[in-house]
A and B are shown apart, each in its own frame.
Chain A
Amino acid sequence: LAKTTQPISMDSYEGQEVNITCSHNNIATNDYITWYQQFPSQGPRFIIQGYKTKVTNEVASLFIPADRKSSTLSLPRVSLSDTAVYYCLVGLIYGGSQGNLIFGKGTKLSVKP
């Protein structure tokens, strides 16, 4: 299973765009990249998932370069409520039924007023 590396923490201010980059150098051909958000004492919440290029939803954008060895989660105009830990994971099998998710340490994002 591919390991991921993320910054341990990041600080931002309200209204700014935040970009969190994750490295996954040994990602497999069939692996998807998934990002989760976790607040204290809650289960992780699915944010976005992608395989290549760019994916956008109502919450965030995910940028994946051609070599797929990294990915960047972009949160537009963050607010105080975006303060949380963000996890980047790889390991789901494209179109298959195997694979599980191994959590790294995540990035603790602190948004200040």
Chain B
Amino acid sequence: GAVVSQHPSWVICKSGTSVKIECRSLDFQATTMFWYRQFPKQSLMLMATSNEGSKATYEQGVEKDKFLINHASLTLSTLTVTSAHPEDSSFYICSARKTGAKQETQYFGPGTRLLVL
């Protein structure tokens, strides 16, 4: 199998606070994980690529100081939304890349719903 978990599944916070979201690959090691954001009725937008032991690579337009990514182990990546504001309210989804003998596949977590009041 290839299971990816996220915690928490949903979070409500006040504007100005920071929120940390965890992404774990439960039954495989993932040197690379990805963070996406999805607004209602829209597709997933890649925010950043998280590599174990190194700095994340952010997509154009994503503020790296606002969305802090840490990938400290082969099974865990965290996304911290710093000083969250209502416009950061969204569905955040992570994925982990599983490497096989010939190909690679990304497996996605269940997502985290963030609501900033």
Contacts and interface: CB of A to CB of B under 8 A. Distances in A.
A102 B94 CA distance: 13
Given A44-B93, A101-B46, A103-B43, A94 B102 contact: yes
Given A44-B44, A44-B93, A32 B99 contact: no
B110 A94 contact: no
Given A100-B46, A101-B46, A106-B43, A92 B107 contact: no
B46 A43 contact: no
A36 B2 CA distance: 14
Nearest to B110: A43
B46 to A, nearest CB: 6
B104 to A, nearest CB: 5
Contact of A95 (B34, B91, B103, B111): B103
Nearest to A32: B103
B111 A42 contact: yes
> For this complex, into which size category does the number of interface residues on chain B fall?
20 to 34
Interface in A57-89: 87
Interface in B12-60: 31-32, 34, 36, 43-46, 49
Q: How large is the interface on A (under 10, 10 to 19, 20 to 34, 35 or more residues)?
A: 20 to 34
Nearest to B10: A41
B7 interface: no
Nearest to A45: B108
B102 A41 contact: no
29 contacts: A32-B103, A32-B104, A34-B106, A36-B108, A41-B111, A41-B113, A43-B4, A43-B95, A43-B108, A43-B109, A43-B110, A43-B111, A44-B44, A44-B95, A45-B108, A46-B2, A46-B105, A92-B103, A92-B104, A93-B104, A94-B102, A94-B103, A97-B32, A99-B104, A100-B46, A100-B49, A101-B106, A102-B46, A105-B43
